[in-house]
């Protein structure tokens, strides 16, 4: 099948841009190289794990092959080859049911290792989550969720590292890590995926907040407590490596750099630039002392699941578009608070706008957080700058992806600057 896969490069180049997880999705890649193929299952259907170099960036794909594709898999087809139809195997429950059990130590192939003490059933029936996100997630027997990362980056992966540390600390409010998939590349190991406990009755915070704002409000304080508890555990777990800094000039410099990188060519942001930069500069003189620590890095209502057991924070991979070194860097924990507050603002503008609700929920969240760690509102200049930073990022994102939504973050930039710090 190796030869057949090699000839697939053209078909993969046409298929990739349609995949939600493919970062450069606005254009076809110039070059797709099949770097490594590991046979996981022979016969019909067959399963191959494939590492691709797409314009020099490494991705993993799982390819199935069948002599004839059942109708339910018609949308997964990638190419017709003399040996059969090659297709996206993550859409095939039959193959995905067998995946974990096939990840043995094939030379240089992908490996699944359960966490110490975790007893993992390897043959639970797989269900593919209907929506593709930055990664591809499979539910196994309603007991586990297997998230397959698409970009393959050598080095410690925050979704694995942080979940592992939080599990070791016995932290509530995170889904228990059961194991990790890795592969050897460039002389080191790269994470391919995480296996975690699945919460079958969970609904995410965005769904809850937009379905019934009134019912969500009392949940916000509990969410604030959960986030602060996770922050406290991350500070403890990575404590010796948490740098104490005399001031936040590095943070201010970073906010300026991000603004320069994001806002260039966005005329709607130009009038706000002087006030935005002044807000970033005020961070330099915020009263300390400060400790930077590992944080979630991309926290919003969609990353908080509410279930019988309370709030669970998921997806510690940071901003997927950023390099691993950036995602693993210590930050001020208020970054996560600021991004969650921005998410409340989005929810308040979904359907009929209700800014009062956003204010109430924001206060409830901060009250909850302040019950565990320092009150985020005690650092107004920092919180303000971090909210602005996120809103600028959102303006750039919405303009590129959902122009109809640009008014929400743009309105926030204007309102936050009008309100001062």
Ligand X SMILES: Nc1ncnc2c1ncn2[C@@H]1O[C@H](COP(=O)(O)OP(=O)(O)OP(=O)(O)O)[C@@H](O)[C@H]1O
Which residues of this chain interact with ligand X, rule CB under 6 A? 129, 133-135, 137, 145, 147, 175, 196-199, 202, 204, 302, 305, 314-315, 317, 320
Report whether 296 contacts 261 (CB < 8 A).
no
| Candidate segments 105-113, 184-192, 308-316, 377-385, binder of Mg ion by CB under 5 A | 308-316
Is residue 115 involved in binding Mg ion (CB under 5 A)?
no
Shortest reach from residue 149's CB to ligand X, in Å: 8
How many angstroms separate the CA atoms of 6 and 10, rounded? 9
> CB-wise, 315 or 336, nearer to Mg ion?
315
Nearest to 95 by CA among 133, 54, 136: 136
137 contact, one of Mg ion, ligand X, none, CB 5-8 Å limit per kind: ligand X
CB of 101 to ligand X, least distance (A): 21
Q: Is 322 in the site for Mg ion (CB under 5 A)?
A: no
And the tokens for 341? 């507050």
- CB burial readout 24-54, b (16+ within 10 A) else e: eeeeebeebebebbbebbeeebbbbbbbbbb
Least distance to Mg ion from the beta carbon of 21, Å? 10
Q: Among all chains, which residue has been given the structure tokens 């890649």?
A: 29
Pick 317 or 345: Cβ nearer Mg ion: 317
Name beta bridge partners: 148. 136, 193
Chain residue at closest Cβ approach to ligand X:
133
Does 315 contact Mg ion by CB under 5 A?
Answer: yes
Strand order in the sheet with 188-197: 111-114, 177-185, 188-197, 144-148, 136-140, 126-128
Residue 78 touches which of Mg ion, ligand X, none (Cβ within 5-8 Å per kind): none
CA distance 222 to 210: 17
Q: What does the alpha-carbon distance between residue 308 and residue 346 come to, in Å, rounded to a whole number?
A: 25
Q: Pick from ligand X, Mg ion, none: which does 196 bind, CB < 5 to 8 A by kind?
A: ligand X
Nearest to 54 by CA among 86, 14, 3, 1: 14
Tell me whether residue 206 or residue 280 sits nearer to ligand X (CB atom): 206
What's the min distance (Å) between Cβ of 147 and ligand X?
Answer: 5
Q: For residue 161, what are its two tokens?
A: 């590292």
Pick the closer one to ligand X by CB: 175 or 248: 175
| Minimum separation from the CB atom of position 309 to ligand X (A) | 11
Residue among 324, 325, 306, 304 at smallest CA distance from 314: 304
Q: Which is nearer to Mg ion, 301 or 410 (by Cβ)?
A: 301
Alpha-helix residue ranges (DSSP H) falling in 107-265 = 158-168, 205-211, 213-237, 249-263
**Which residue number, 115 or 315, has a Cβ lying nearer to Mg ion?**
315
CB atoms within 10 A of CB 223: 27
CB nearer ligand X, residue 147 or residue 213: 147
Output 208 or 382, the one with its CB closest to ligand X.
208
Shortest reach from residue 306's CB to ligand X, in Å:
11
Q: Is 166 exposed, middle or buried (0-12, 13-18, 19+ CB in 10 A)?
A: buried
Output the smallest distance, CB 134 to Mg ion, in A. Answer: 4
CB atoms within 10 A of CB 133: 14
Given a contact cutoff of 8 angstroms between Cβ atoms, the answer to whether 84 and 67 are in contact is yes
CB of 344 to Mg ion, least distance (A): 20
179 interface partner picked from Mg ion, ligand X, none, CB below 5 to 8 A per type? none
Among 7, 38, 81, 134, binds Mg ion (CB under 5 A): 134
Considering CB distances under 5 to 8 angstroms, the limit depending on partner class, which of ligand X, Mg ion, none binds residue 22?
none
Q: How many angstroms separate the most distant Cα atoms in the chain? A: 68
- Pick from Mg ion, ligand X, none: which does 145 bind, CB < 5 to 8 A by kind? ligand X
**In 10 A of CB 273, how many CB atoms?**
13
Token pair of 372 as six digits: 């565990």
Residue 414 C-beta: closest distance to Mg ion, Å: 29
Window contacting Mg ion (CB under 5 A); options: 64-72, 203-211, 313-321, 386-394:
313-321
Using alpha carbons, select from 93, 113, 226, 132 the residue that is nearest to residue 177. 113
CB of 278 to ligand X, least distance (A): 32
Which residues form the interface with Mg ion (CB under 5 A)?
134, 315, 317
């Amino acid at each position: 099948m190796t030869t057949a896969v090699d000839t697939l490069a053209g078909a993969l180049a046409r298929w990739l841009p349609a995949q939600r997880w493919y970062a450069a999705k606005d254009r076809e890649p110039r070059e797709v190289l099949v770097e490594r193929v590991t046979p996981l299952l022979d016969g019909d259907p067959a399963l191959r794990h494939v590492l691709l170099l797409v314009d020099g960036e490494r991705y993993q794909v799982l390819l199935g092959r069948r002599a004839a594709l059942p109708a339910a898999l018609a949308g997964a087809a990638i190419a017709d080859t003399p040996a059969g139809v090659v297709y996206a195997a993550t859409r095939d429950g039959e193959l995905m049911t067998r995946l974990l059990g096939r990840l043995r130590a094939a030379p240089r192939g992908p490996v699944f290792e359960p966490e110490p003490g975790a007893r993992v059933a390897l043959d639970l029936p797989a269900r593919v989550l209907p929506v593709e996100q930055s990664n591809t997630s499979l539910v196994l027997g309603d007991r586990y969720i297997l998230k397959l990362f698409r970009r393959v980056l050598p080095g410690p992966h925050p979704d694995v590292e942080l979940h592992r540390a939080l599990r070791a600390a016995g932290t509530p409010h995170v889904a228990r890590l059961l194991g990790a998939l890795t592969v050897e590349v460039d002389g080191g190991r790269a994470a391919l995926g995480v296996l975690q406990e699945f919460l079958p009755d969970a609904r995410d915070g965005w769904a809850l907040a937009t379905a019934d704002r009134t019912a969500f409000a009392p949940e916000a304080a509990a969410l604030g407590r959960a986030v602060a508890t996770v922050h406290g555990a991350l500070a403890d777990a990575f404590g010796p490596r948490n740098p104490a800094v005399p001031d936040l000039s590095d943070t201010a410099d970073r906010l300026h750099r991000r603004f320069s990188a994001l806002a260039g060519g966005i005329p709607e942001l130009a009038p706000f630039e002087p006030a935005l930069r002044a807000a970033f500069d005020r961070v330099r003189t915020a009263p300390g002392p400060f400790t930077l620590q590992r944080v979630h890095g991309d926290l919003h209502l969609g990353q908080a699941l509410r279930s019988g057991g309370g709030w669970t924070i998921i997806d510690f991979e940071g901003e997927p578009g950023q390099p691993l070194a950036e995602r693993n860097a210590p930050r001020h924990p208020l970054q996560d608070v600021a991004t969650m507050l921005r998410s409340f603002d989005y929810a308040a503008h979904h359907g009929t706008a209700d800014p009062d609700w956003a204010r109430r929920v924001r206060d409830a969240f901060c009250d909850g957080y302040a019950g565990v760690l320092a009150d985020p509102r005690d650092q107004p200049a920092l919180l303000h700058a971090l909210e602005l930073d996120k809103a600028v990022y959102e303006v750039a994102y919405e303009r590129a992806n959902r122009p109809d939504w640009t008014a929400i973050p743009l309105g926030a930039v204007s309102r936050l600057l009008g309100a001062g710090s």
